[in-house]
Amino acid sequence: MIGQELGSALLISLLNSLIDCLFIYAYCIEQAKLHFREETLLPNLGCPSNIKKTKADKLDPERPSERGEFPEGELKEKLHLSRERNRELVRQAKLLGRDQDGRLKCACCYFDFFATYGEVGKDFIEAHHTKPVSTLLENGEETKIEDLALVCSNCHSMLHRKRPWLEMDELSKLIC
């Protein structure tokens, strides 16, 4: 009886080890496939090696990036938007931009994310850089809080819709 139990325990242990081995084997195959894609397929697709490490390409390594092919105007817009992503500056702009009730509203249309979406919209607003990128120094420039306008996502998109970008007061006049 004891011998039977020992035999069963041994069998279960062997099966578990076999399952572990199969998992490890499958994992190794997947890693090898990924490695092959990164090292062999991406360079053949003409994807620059400095781009393949970015998150998007990691998610889908077989897709060649087209980021090198944006027209110049698009690149300028990215530069503008990335300047707006200075978190501390935006945080301070938000602190100063609250109305007397402590709410953040769009400077163009007065949209209030909290009023419309409730808790999920609380404290949400986007920051728009009001200085046209053409006026900024070539090597970058310190951005002041007053250079940022707090706007809703719709107004922000409309401000950037056409070049030259609309001024804040121009957009405000367009809102019916």
Q: Which residues bind Zn ion (CB under 5 A)?
A: 106, 108-109, 111, 128, 152, 155
Closest contact distance (angstroms) between CB of 108 and Zn ion is 4
Closest contact distance (angstroms) between CB of 69 and Zn ion is 23
CB within 8 Å of 146: residues ≥ 6 apart: none
Instruction: Between 63 and 78, name the residue whose CB sits nearer to Zn ion.
Output: 78
Instruction: Between 109 and 145, name the residue whose CB sits nearer to Zn ion.
Output: 109
Give the closest residue to 132 by CA, choosing from 159, 172, 102, 92: 159
4 is written with which tokens?
């039977």
Instruction: Between 7 and 132, name the residue whose CB sits nearer to Zn ion.
Output: 132
Closest contact distance (angstroms) between CB of 110 and Zn ion is 7
Q: List Cα–Cα distances, 89 to 2, 170, 172, in angstroms.
A: 73, 25, 24
Closest contact distance (angstroms) between CB of 68 and Zn ion is 24
Instruction: Between 35 and 78, name the residue whose CB sits nearer to Zn ion.
Output: 78
Residue type, 131: K
